[in-house]
């Protein structure tokens, strides 16, 4: 039996994320074309990769019908110009679709079945609203397998506020405002644009070019957030301002064995350490990343103190705050979503897991003092997903200097 192969994140790109609906920039664009655009951009950035060396293509979508149906991995592979010999398949783990695409192909690479694979996701929530066309088994409710709130993601977020009273709306709003401001600062610094693949768009007004996320609101203030209504319950805590919106977009990543990456001259932006998925009560699905992170840490032989950067999906601000409180991390910790998150950029469900990885990979380049990073997210129907990565640019001397600076600052305080 072959030895386990080390798995690496070679590269990742995404389309700009758009606002779902008729007024959104992708209303006239097919979902599969968004995925194809991301895949083509990924392949163009890595011309040294022979296309026939791609062993498989895994593309996720939550609503697999219409232009998000017909075995997305295979159809998008053909449309992106990959040889017919390259197979493909579709993945569905709701919000963690792209994350599961990555971990699934990673398992095949570690086993030795694959050398190189493409993994990503797409969600066109304008064409396919979450849950549209689904027919939940009536036994879910009649046999009380889940509460009625389990099928409404905003209601599950309200339940987290109920369970943890210290997670106030003020904290959630402040976290959301900070996400918007950090995202704007990241754009101004040029951190985001390098991994965006521009998309030609069509509307009644004519052709356009999507080259920037559509839903960011850098002008957000605490006063403005406080004035927003709470649609999931009267006098609640969850608003359109402290939750991710409904969005369209696609992501694609190149995952490989470390040996194949070196053989083909491909970059190594991150090394996979461990991953885990976990289930929780569906009615409070937002706490899912807590047990999945605990499992991933154990699998990786690490503790939360080893994690130097966190990319946590902001489906709801309260969901991220619950994880931070659990692990004793401050709301404003600069290691957490330093460039903002889904509240600012958007959350096109099954595509978002790879966005987290793209941003973490870029941050690793800028932070050689950080050895490990975490990408984590909550998942509908009571799940969480976590992936721990190692920074190939890690420098022990830089880490020692950073630790010394931290010690000096703490002593001064």
Q: What is the mean pLDDT of residues 34-59?
A: 98
* 396 within some domain: no
Q: Among the options 95, 127, 161, 367, which is catalytic?
A: 95
- When divided into structural domains, the chain yields a total of 1
Q: Is 144 helix (H, G, I), strand (E, B) or coil?
A: coil
Q: Is 97 helix (H, G, I), strand (E, B) or coil?
A: helix
For residue range 375-385, list pLDDT tens digits in order: 999 999 999 99
* 138 within some domain: no
Q: Is 389 helix (H, G, I), strand (E, B) or coil?
A: strand
How much of the chain exceeds pLDDT 90, in percent? 88
Helix (H) / strand (E) containing 388: strand 383-390
DSSP 245-301: --EEEEEEEEEEEHHHHHHHT----EEEEEEEEEE--GGGGGGTHHHHHHHHHHHHT
Q: What integer pLDDT is reported at residue 41 of this predicted model?
A: 98
Q: What is the mean pLDDT of residues 301-321?
A: 98
Distance of CA 351 to the CA centre of its chain: 7
Q: What integer pLDDT is reported at residue 152 of this predicted model?
A: 87
> Which residues, including other chains, have CB under 8 Å from residue 299's CB and lie 6 or more apart?
274, 275, 276
Cβ–Cβ under 8 Å, residues 325 and 164: yes
> Is the pLDDT confidence value at 1 over 60?
no
Cβ–Cβ under 8 Å, residues 308 and 360: no
Model confidence at 46, pLDDT cuts 50, 70, 90, reads: very high
Distance of CA 32 to the CA centre of its chain: 19
> Is the pLDDT confidence value at 338 over 80?
yes
Q: What integer pLDDT is reported at residue 109 of this predicted model?
A: 98
Between CA 281 and CA 274 the distance in angstroms is: 24
123-137, 234-248, 322-336: least confidently modelled range: 123-137
* 378 within some domain: yes
Give yes or no: 128 in active site.
no
Cβ–Cβ under 8 Å, residues 243 and 343: yes
DSSP 181-219: HHHHHHHHTTTTGGGB--EEEEETTEEEEE-S-S---TT
Q: What integer pLDDT is reported at residue 410 of this predicted model?
A: 63
389: nearest Cα among 12, 121, 81, 136: 12
Beta bridge partners of 152: none
135 class by beta-carbon count within 10 Å (0-12 exposed, 13-18 middle, 19+ buried): exposed
For residue range 47-57, list pLDDT tens digits in order: 999 999 999 99
* 401 within some domain: no
Q: Among the options 161, 191, 347, 367, which is catalytic?
A: 347
> Is the pLDDT confidence value at 3 over 80?
no
93-107, 172-186, 196-210: least confidently modelled range: 196-210
Count CB neighbours of 193 within 10 A. Answer: 13
Distance of CA 102 to the CA centre of its chain: 11
Model confidence at 409, pLDDT cuts 50, 70, 90, reads: low
Give yes or no: 378 in active site.
yes
Q: What integer pLDDT is reported at residue 404 of this predicted model?
A: 81
> Is the pLDDT confidence value at 133 over 90?
no
> Which residues, including other chains, have CB under 8 Å from residue 403's CB and lie 6 or more apart?
none
- The dihedrals phi and psi of 95, each to the nearest 5 degrees, come to -65, -25
Which residue range forms the structural domain that includes residue 193?
7-128+145-390
Q: What is the mean pLDDT of residues 261-276?
A: 98
> Is the pLDDT confidence value at 110 over 90?
yes
The mean predicted confidence, pLDDT, of the chain is 95
Q: What is the mean pLDDT of residues 195-206?
A: 92
For residue range 207-229, list pLDDT tens digits in order: 999 999 999 999 999 999 999 99
> Is the pLDDT confidence value at 25 over 70?
yes
Q: What integer pLDDT is reported at residue 296 of this predicted model?
A: 98
* 280 within some domain: yes
Between CA 398 and CA 392 the distance in angstroms is: 13
> Is the pLDDT confidence value at 238 over 80?
yes
Q: What is the mean pLDDT of residues 374-400?
A: 95
Phi-psi region of 349 (alpha: psi -120 to 50; beta: other; left: phi over 0): left
Give yes or no: 95 in active site.
yes
* 134 within some domain: no
Model confidence at 411, pLDDT cuts 50, 70, 90, reads: low
* 382 within some domain: yes
Q: What integer pLDDT is reported at residue 132 of this predicted model?
A: 79
Between CA 388 and CA 7 the distance in angstroms is: 12
> Is the pLDDT confidence value at 253 over 80?
yes
Q: Among the options 128, 161, 367, 378, which is catalytic?
A: 378
* 368 within some domain: yes
What CATH number is attached to the domain comprising 180? 3.40.47.10
């Amino acid at each position: 039996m072959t030895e386990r192969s080390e798995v690496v994140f070679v590269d990742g790109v995404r389309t700009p994320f758009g606002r779902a609906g008729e007024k959104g920039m992708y209303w006239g664009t097919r979902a599969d074309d968004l995925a194809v655009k991301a895949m083509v951009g990924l392949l163009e950035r890595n011309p040294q990769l022979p296309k026939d060396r791609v062993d498989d293509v895994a593309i996720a979508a939550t609503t697999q019908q219409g232009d998000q149906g017909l075995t997305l991995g295979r159809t998008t592979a053909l449309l992106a110009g990959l040889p017919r010999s390259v197979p493909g398949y579709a993945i569905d783990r709701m919000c963690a679709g792209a994350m599961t695409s990555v971990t699934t192909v990673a398992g095949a690479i570690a086993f030795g079945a694959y050398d190189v694979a493409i993994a990503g996701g797409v969600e066109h929530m304008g064409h396919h609203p979450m849950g549209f066309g689904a027919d939940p088994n009536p036994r879910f409710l009649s046999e009380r397998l889940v509460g009625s709130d389990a099928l409404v993601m905003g209601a599950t977020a309200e339940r987290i506020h109920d369970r943890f009273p210290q997670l106030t709306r003020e904290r959630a709003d402040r976290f959301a405002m900070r996400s918007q401001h950090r995202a704007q600062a990241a754009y101004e610094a040029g951190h985001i644009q390098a991994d965006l693949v521009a998309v030609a768009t069509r509307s009644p007004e004519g052709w356009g070019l999507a080259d920037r996320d559509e839903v960011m609101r850098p002008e957000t203030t605490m006063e403005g957030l406080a004035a927003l209504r709470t649609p999931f319950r009267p006098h609640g805590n969850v608003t359109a301002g402290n939750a991710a919106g409904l969005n369209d977009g696609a992501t694609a990543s190149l995952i490989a064995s470390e040996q194949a990456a070196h053989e083909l001259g491909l970059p190594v932006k991150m090394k996979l350490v461990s991953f885990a998925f976990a289930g929780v009560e569906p009615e409070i699905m937002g706490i899912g990343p807590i047990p999945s992170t605990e499992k991933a840490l154990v699998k990786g032989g690490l503790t939360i103190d080893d994690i130097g950067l966190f990319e946590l999906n902001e489906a709801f601000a309260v969901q991220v705050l619950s994880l931070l409180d659990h692990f004793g991390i401050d709301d404003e910790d600069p290691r957490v979503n330093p460039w903002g998150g889904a509240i600012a950029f958007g959350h096109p469900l099954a595509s978002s897991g790879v966005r987290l990885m793209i941003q973490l990979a870029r941050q690793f380049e800028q932070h050689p003092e950080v050895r490990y990073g975490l990408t984590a997210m909550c998942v509908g129907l009571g799940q969480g997903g976590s992936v721990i990565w190692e920074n190939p640019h890690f420098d022990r001397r830089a880490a020692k200097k950073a630790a010394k600076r931290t010690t000096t600052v703490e002593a001064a305080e």
